[in-house]
Every structure is written in structure tokens, then in C-alpha cells.
């Protein structure tokens, strides 16, 4: 019940009237007023109803963080005709675990450390080209894509490319997301 002293403050910050909150949870204005002033101890269920209403309004009021705000703008790629040695140098030089692969400026797939290692260990691997070890392409989303939806994409893909008018301008990996957030919410705090 530590939330009780915060109910009034949160309600006022959202511009919700006492009556509006009361109607939202099916109680009287007087009951909500007494709860806010600490005059009565509400049931757990009523507190949860009030908090659900406030959280829904706070979520609606808080602007979303877009992928453009957390993306790595240094988009490093490797050409599909490059040697595996070139790809290995790019991966190692940038401390990357994967790279988008391009062909004539268009993204055609990806190359990962594990794919590169398998190919280099195979007979004739040193003569192979990136196109020979090509893996699936990453999803490409617009720069205004909500960052809160990235974890769902990362369940299937190791990276997401960010585009402006269809042209890739950045990348977000799981590590970028972690670095960009450092425990922060994927939504901005509502303005006070």
C-alpha cells in the first residue's frame, strides 16, 4: 500500500479530475478523496483498479522512444563478393558478432561469427566468398518504429536495420539496445 500517497500526485499530473477517477473505478468522489487524504484504507482490489487506470493514462501520455534514438548510426556492411578474410577483419575490427551483407548497395543477407567460423574451418574455406556463407537478412524498420517492439524482433533476429525512406541508415543489436537503455523504460516518463 506504499502507492496510496502517490495516487493524488499521479492523478493531478495526468490532469484527471477526482470525479473522473471515481467514475473509472465505480466509486464516489468522496471515497477517492478520503483514500487520497489517508482517511480510509481501501481494499487491495480497489487500489489495483485505481493504479490500473493511472498506469493506462500514463502510458498513453508518455511518448514512445523510437529506434532512431538508440540505433548505432555507424552502419558497417560487407559486400557479398568480399573474401571471408575481409569479413573476418570487419567483424574483428569493429568487435561485431554479425554484419549486414550488401550487393550493389542493397542488403541481401548477413554474415555471423559462427557462420564465418564454420566456413573457414571447412576445406577450401579460405577461398570462399561472403555470398557462399550468406545467412538471412535482418528485418528493416522505419526510423520512427517504436523501440518497445524491438525485444519481440530480437527473439528471432540478432539485429534490426533502421531505414529512412527505404535506405538503411543504422542498426540496432541486442547489445545496442542494452547500452542505449541501461535500465530505462522504452517509454519516456510523462512530462510533469
| Residues 118 and 76 grouped into a single domain | yes
Which of these three, 61, 78, 100, is where a domain ends?
61
> What cell was used for 178?
542494452
Helix (H, G, I), strand (E, B) or coil at 70: coil
| Of 64, 92, 90, 39, residue with least CA distance to 189 | 64
Q: Give the pLDDT score at 165.
A: 86
Q: What is the pLDDT of residues 152-189, one digit of tens each?
A: 899 899 999 999 988 899 999 888 777 766 655 555 44
The residues near 133 (Cβ < 8 Å, ≥ 6 apart) are: 84, 111, 115, 116, 118, 119
Average model confidence (pLDDT) across the chain: 87
Q: Give the pLDDT score at 170.
A: 94
The answer on pLDDT for 190 being more than 50 is no
Helix (H, G, I), strand (E, B) or coil at 187: strand
How far is residue 20 from each of residues 10, 25, 30, 140, 167, measured CA to CA in Å? Answer: 13, 9, 12, 42, 46
The residues near 61 (Cβ < 8 Å, ≥ 6 apart) are: 14, 190, 191
Q: Check: CB of residue 143 under 8 Å from CB of residue 66.
A: yes
Q: What is the pLDDT of residues 81-100, one digit of tens each?
A: 999 989 999 999 988 899 99
- Domain limits at 26? 4-61
In a domain, 190, yes or no: no
| Of 11, 1, 4, 18, residue with least CA distance to 55 | 11
Q: Give the pLDDT score at 26.
A: 95
How far is residue 112 from each of residues 28, 95, 148, measured CA to CA in Å? Answer: 61, 12, 25
Host H or E run for residue 125: none
- CATH at 12: 1.10.260.40
Share of residues in the chain with pLDDT > 70 (%) = 91
| Residues 81 and 173 grouped into a single domain | yes
How far is residue 119 from each of residues 128, 135, 136, 144, 170, measured CA to CA in Å? Answer: 8, 12, 16, 37, 27
| Residues 15 and 85 grouped into a single domain | no
Q: Specify the pTM.
A: 0.61
Q: Residue 140 — very low, low, confident or very high, per pLDDT cuts 50/70/90?
A: very high
| Residues 38 and 125 grouped into a single domain | no
The answer on pLDDT for 29 being more than 90 is yes
Q: What is the pLDDT of residues 125-134, one digit of tens each?
A: 778 899 999 9
Q: Give the pLDDT score at 2.
A: 67
Give dist(CA 173, CA 186) in Å, integer.
15
In a domain, 191, yes or no: no
Q: Residue 57 — very low, low, confident or very high, per pLDDT cuts 50/70/90?
A: confident
The answer on pLDDT for 31 being more than 90 is yes
Amino acid at each position: 500500500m506504499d502507492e496510496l500517497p502517490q495516487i493524488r500526485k499521479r492523478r493531478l499530473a495526468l490532469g484527471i479530475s477526482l470525479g473522473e477517477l471515481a467514475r473509472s473505478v465505480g466509486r464516489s468522489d468522496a471515497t477517492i478523496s478520503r483514500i487520497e487524504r489517508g482517511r480510509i484504507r481501501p481494499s487491495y482490489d480497489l487500489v489495483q483498479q485505481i493504479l490500473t487506470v493511472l498506469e493506462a493514462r500514463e502510458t498513453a501520455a508518455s511518448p514512445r522512444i523510437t529506434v532512431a534514438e538508440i540505433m548505432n548510426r555507424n552502419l558497417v556492411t560487407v559486400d557479398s563478393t568480399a573474401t571471408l578474410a575481409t569479413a573476418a577483419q570487419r567483424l574483428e575490427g569493429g568487435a561485431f558478432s554479425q554484419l549486414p551483407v550488401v550487393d550493389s548497395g542493397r542488403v541481401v543477407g548477413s554474415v555471423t561469427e559462427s557462420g564465418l567460423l564454420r566456413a573457414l574451418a571447412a576445406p577450401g574455406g579460405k577461398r570462399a566468398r561472403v555470398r557462399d556463407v550468406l545467412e538471412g537478412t535482418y528485418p528493416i524498420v522505419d526510423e520512427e518504429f517504436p523501440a518497445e517492439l524491438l525485444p519481440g524482433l530480437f527473439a528471432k533476429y540478432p539485429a534490426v536495420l533502421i531505414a529512412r525512406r527505404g535506405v538503411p541508415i543504422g542498426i540496432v543489436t541486442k547489445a545496442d539496445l542494452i547500452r542505449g537503455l541501461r535500465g530505462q523504460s522504452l517509454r519516456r516518463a510523462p512530462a510533469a
